[in-house]
Structure 1
Amino acid sequence: MIQDATDQYIATILAHYPLAGKKVLEIGCGGGRITRDLARYATSVLATDPDGKALAKARAAVTAENVTFRQAPSGVPEDLPPASFDLVIYTLSLHHVPIGAMTASLEAAGRLLRPGGAIMVLEPGAEGPFMEAKQRFGIGSGDESREQAAALSAIEELTGWTVGPTIHFETAFLFSDEADFFASKVPNHAQLPAERLAEIRTFLTPYKTAEGIVLRGGRRLNVLTRS
């Protein structure tokens, strides 16, 4: 699987925030897919994630000298000095923060920003066949609509911050074939009933191309600045 096959994440980020000369804190780096692109433009990137296995994968994939990886159980490191960064970016991670802790996480991120800094929140949208497959078949992390709605509410209700317009865009997931799709997104497929497997294969058929299976997923971006 190739995530974000057409590099829409970094293109959208750059269109709404200049990374040149900036120190960036990335919350929820996962396997480092977006970290790699942030490092190409920012002065430095501190990439965090609570998952040690994901961090090991990210360290292997991203070897840029201006990137540091760190495990942070709560997402935002608790021992960093205030005003350390120009940008804090949640890369598809705010909805993974426990709902009751989302506001506190954003507030902690804000304390780490220099004057004029910004919080950028990148979250899944609801559009596109990839998101439909998550909801219908529970692929990947499954239906997270409740958590995503809570993340949006936390952003909109954050005291002392102005939320910029929501930027909607799509990213593409490229799978070489059905086997790649099932291995990447349905690891328990061997235990599924034959009827369920057939239903998933029928769903995938319209998205088969000469390059492979292309599923697009909606994404949303918000930039928060101090009021």
Structure 2
Amino acid sequence: MPFDHNDRYHPLLLSVVPPGARRALEVGCGTGKLARRLAARGLDVDALDPVSEVLAVARALGSPGPGTIAYREADVTAVSLPSRHYDLITCVASLHHMPFDTVTALREALAPGGVLAVLGLAHPSTVRDRAMWLGSIPLNLGAKTLVSLAERLNGGADPVPRATVREWDLSLADIRIASARLLPGSRIRVLPFWRYLLTYRAA
């Protein structure tokens, strides 16, 4: 599918970067699109992904500067993160690949005032959730059509490796309950295109 739902929300994720942020961790960086956008904002980014093929693409593209990007083939659940270190931690469509309580380690890795931003996937729980995501169907079809047309006019898109896609098993109700317990004060916003945004700011 040529229209990437996750990339569409990069501007929203950039909008939650704390003022003066210097260090970021991206969990599940894929081919590094968001990491490069963060580096362009001047952040030094540690970008983790367990899939070597997508990291090879990311490394080949490098960093646009002025910030740096250090790519690492790693599963965040199996590494030790520095305590109170990062001003921003992002998880873009990656948290459902691991136990949700992984957010505890991410929380502890946030510097004071740092922000954890999760663009996640979950099953709807309320009538409002379902209405939001049912309304995304015509928008999705229109976006796919426009992007496909643009690619044909430009000679087609270059194929790139894609990260493993895994089905999610938690509902938004599960996410809300777990977030209230593990990330007190966090906020969850339901978005079009079957996504939610969870944000948490460290004290």
The residue that corresponds to 1:72 in the other structure is 74
Alignment gaps of 5+ in structure 1? 132-139, 170-216
CA contact (8 A) 2:118 2:198 kept: yes
Which residue of structure 2 lines up, in the alignment, with residue 49 of structure 1? Answer: 49
Q: Cα RMSD (Å) of the superposition?
A: 3.3
Residue of structure 2 equivalent to 1:8: 8
**2:105: which partner in 1?**
108
User: Aligned AA for 1:116?
Assistant: G
Pairing of 1:99-138 with structure 2 (within 5 A):
101-103=99-101, 105-124=102-121, 127=133, 128-129=136-137
Structure 2: how far apart are the matches of 1:6 and 1:144?
15
1:143 to partner: Cα distance: 7.6
Distance 2:85 2:91 in 1: 16
Counterparts in 2 of 1:23 and 1:15: CA distance versus 1, 3 Å: same
Q: Secondary structure at the match of 1:17?
A: coil
Greater radius of gyration (CA): 1
Between structures 1 and 2, the one with greater strand share: 1
Question: Structure 2 length as normaliser, TM-score?
Answer: 0.66
The 8 Å contact of residues 94 and 151 in structure 1, kept in 2 or not, is answered as no
Kept after mapping to 2: 8 A contact 1:47/1:68: yes
Could you tell me whether the CA contact under 8 Å between 1:88 and 1:119 is conserved in 2? Answer: yes
Partner of 2:169: 146
Once the two structures are TM-superposed, the CA of residue 223 in structure 1 deviates from its matched residue by 0.4
Cα distance between partner residues in 2 of 1:151 and 1:15: 26
Range with bigger deviation, 8-17 or 23-32: 8-17
Equivalent residue for 2:194? 218
Give the alignment partner of residue 156 of structure 1, picking from 179, 182, 196.
Answer: 179
Cα deviations by residue, 1:32-70 (Å, 9 ceiling, x for unpaired): 222222222142111001112221122123433511101
Q: Secondary structure at the match of 1:161?
A: coil
The structural deviation recorded for 1:14 is: 2.8
Length-normalised TM-score, structure 1: 0.60
Q: Which runs of 5+ in 2 are unaligned?
A: 124-132, 142-162
SS across alignment from 2:182: coil
The whole-number CA distance in structure 1 between the counterparts of 2:47 and 2:180 is 26
Give distance in 1, aligned partners of 2:6 and 2:202: 32
String of CA shifts for 1:53-103, please: whole Å, max 9, x gaps: 221122123433511101112x25633431221111111100011xxx320
The whole-number CA distance in structure 2 between the counterparts of 1:81 and 1:109 is: 10
> Deviation above 6 Å: which 4+ runs of structure 1?
140-143
* Distance 1:148-1:42 versus aligned 2 partners, 3 A rule: farther
Task: Label 1:160 to 1:35 Cα distance change in 2 as closer, same or farther (>3 A).
Answer: closer
Match of 1:36 in 2: 36
Work out whether residues 164 and 224 of structure 1, in 8 Å CA contact, stay in contact via their aligned partners in 2: yes
For 2:174 and 2:60, locate their aligned partners in 1 and report how far apart those are by CA, in whole Å: 30
